[in-house]
């Protein structure tokens, strides 16, 4: 069988080291899937694959051992999956029987978020699906991850663009009993953003991560959850060339600004990527152009009165809790 390798890869199939075999990569945006679609995966793996399914590090499903001549049959079986998971959530795919229209951008990963986790500040599945219908299909290498809180269970510090949910903790000094449980917890497991003054708790806005642990730890209900916000990390990567963690670019931004930033990031990559390189990562481009150029092209027009602030420089050496120098309003 004569294979069009480019078309196979475009349909999210990968050429196997085992001659005459391919692996089907099935997208699972946000890593959250209705159980009915597992029957489709089971049928493909059992009928055409080697009977196994690999859960990838990007929360996609890989079905190995498929004979090359069975690719059209697998595409047909995937049609209801693509219709239900992609098209019904708002992704524009005209021919569902043609398979996935592109392997990129990479599958969006997410922790379980506020749907099930007490720590979750945002609905990560909802955010992942919104990102999916906004940016898939595409042709640029961009790895995106979403974590519901500062615990970062989705490891978005290793992504090109990482999104972390934040909540604004609201303090009611009338309910406070000055037990300092929140102060001690913040110092021990968070960022040390709380201190006691005159038997009342004071929050340092520059140090606060928006994790919401003060709300959970308070025995008197003096802390409550306010509005939702987001932190955006950029420039993380793993791999051969100098792997590093992402750095905080923006924090305390609202949801609409998240999508504006990512749209601007795509435009920035198109403007500055090296055409001769198949996969130049965002962090490499930022290093080459300089943060000033990136910031000028990507920083959105924030709403008047917004709490958002942008980093004056990118701290790739790790997260700093003392942000009085790094951030500006």
Instruction: Confirm whether 41 is domain-assigned.
Output: yes
pLDDT recorded at residue 202? 97
Q: Note whether 252 and 229 are within 8 A (CB).
A: yes
Say if residue 118 is in the same domain as residue 12: no
CATH code for position 152:
3.30.413.10
Say if residue 16 is in the same domain as residue 149: no
**HEC string of 6-27?**
HHHHHCCEEECCCCCEEEEEEC
pLDDT tens-digit readout, 205-261: 999 999 999 999 999 999 999 999 999 999 999 888 778 999 999 999 999 999 999
Say if residue 209 is in the same domain as residue 91: no
| Residue that is last in its domain, among 184, 202, 227 | 227
Say if residue 239 is in the same domain as residue 316: yes
pLDDT recorded at residue 319? 65
Contacts of 296 (CB under 8 A, 6+ apart): none
Say if residue 196 is in the same domain as residue 290: no
Confidence of residue 278 (pLDDT cuts 50, 70, 90): low
Say if residue 89 is in the same domain as residue 190: no
Number of domains in the chain: 3
Q: Please determine, for residue 120, whether its predicted confidence score (pLDDT) is greater than 70.
A: yes
pLDDT recorded at residue 279? 75
Say if residue 13 is in the same domain as residue 78: yes
Q: Note whether 159 and 246 are within 8 A (CB).
A: yes
In the structure encoding, which two tokens stand for residue 21, read together? 């075999």
Instruction: Confirm whether 292 is domain-assigned.
Output: yes
pLDDT recorded at residue 154? 96
Q: Which of 22-36, 253-267, 293-307 has the lowest mean pLDDT?
A: 293-307
Instruction: Confirm whether 146 is domain-assigned.
Output: yes
pLDDT recorded at residue 300? 86
Instruction: Confirm whether 126 is domain-assigned.
Output: yes
Confidence of residue 50 (pLDDT cuts 50, 70, 90): very high
| Residue that is last in its domain, among 158, 193, 227 | 227
Say if residue 51 is in the same domain as residue 148: no
Query: Could you give the percent of the chain with pLDDT greater than 90?
Result: 78
Instruction: Confirm whether 147 is domain-assigned.
Output: yes
pLDDT recorded at residue 10? 80
Instruction: Confirm whether 103 is domain-assigned.
Output: no
pLDDT recorded at residue 9? 82
Say if residue 293 is in the same domain as residue 318: yes
Question: Which domain does 139 fall in, by range?
Answer: 109-166+228-328
Phi, psi of 142 (to 5 degrees): -150, 115
Cα–Cα dist 221/95, whole Å: 53
Q: Note whether 63 and 26 are within 8 A (CB).
A: yes
pLDDT tens-digit readout, 85-110: 999 999 999 999 999 998 888 999 99
Confidence of residue 276 (pLDDT cuts 50, 70, 90): confident
| Residue that is last in its domain, among 98, 123, 150 | 98
Instruction: Confirm whether 24 is domain-assigned.
Output: yes
Prediction pTM value: 0.92
Say if residue 219 is in the same domain as residue 254: no
pLDDT tens-digit readout, 140-159: 889 999 999 999 999 999 99
25 beta partners: 62
pLDDT recorded at residue 242? 79
Say if residue 220 is in the same domain as residue 147: no
Cα–Cα dist 171/266, whole Å: 39
pLDDT tens-digit readout, 163-212: 999 999 999 999 999 999 999 999 998 899 999 999 999 999 999 999 99
Instruction: Confirm whether 104 is domain-assigned.
Output: no
Confidence of residue 304 (pLDDT cuts 50, 70, 90): low
CATH code for position 46:
3.90.480.20
Q: What is the mean pLDDT of residues 100-129?
A: 94
Say if residue 28 is in the same domain as residue 147: no
């Amino acid at each position: 069988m004569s294979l069009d390798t480019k078309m196979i890869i475009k349909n999210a199939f990968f050429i196997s080291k085992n001659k005459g075999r391919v692996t089907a990569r099935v997208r699972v945006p946000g890593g959250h899937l209705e159980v009915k679609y597992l029957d489709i995966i089971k049928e493909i793996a059992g009928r055409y694959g080697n009977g196994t399914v690999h859960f990838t590090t990007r929360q996609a499903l890989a079905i190995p051992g498929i004979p090359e001549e069975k690719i059209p049959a697998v595409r047909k079986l995937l049609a209801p999956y693509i219709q239900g998971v992609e098209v019904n959530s708002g992704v524009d795919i005209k021919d569902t029987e043609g398979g996935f229209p592109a392997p990129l951008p990479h599958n969006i990963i997410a922790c379980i978020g506020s749907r099930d986790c007490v720590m979750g500040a945002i609905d990560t599945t909802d955010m992942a699906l919104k990102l999916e219908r906004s940016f898939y299909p595409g042709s640029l290498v961009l790895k995106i991850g979403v974590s519901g809180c500062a615990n970062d269970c989705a490891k978005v510090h290793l992504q090109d663009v990482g999104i972390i949910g934040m909540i604004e903790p609201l303090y009611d000094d009338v309910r406070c009993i000055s037990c300092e449980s929140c102060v001690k917890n913040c110092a021990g497991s968070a960022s040390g953003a709380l201190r006691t003054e005159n038997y009342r708790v004071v929050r340092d806005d520059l140090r606060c991560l928006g994790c919401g642990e003060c709300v959970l730890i308070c025995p008197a209900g003096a802390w409550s959850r306010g509005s939702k916000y987001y932190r955006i990390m950029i420039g993380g990567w793993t791999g051969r060339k100098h792997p590093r963690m992402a750095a905080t670019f923006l924090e305390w931004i609202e949801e609409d600004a998240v999508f504006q930033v990512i749209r601007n990031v795509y435009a920035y990559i198109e403007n500055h990527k090296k055409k001769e390189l198949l996969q130049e990562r965002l962090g490499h481009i930022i290093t080459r152009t300089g943060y000033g150029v990136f910031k000028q092209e990507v920083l959105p027009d924030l709403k008047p009165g917004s709490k958002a602030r942008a980093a004056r420089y990118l701290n790739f050496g790790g997260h700093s809790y003392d942000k009085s120098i790094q951030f500006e309003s």
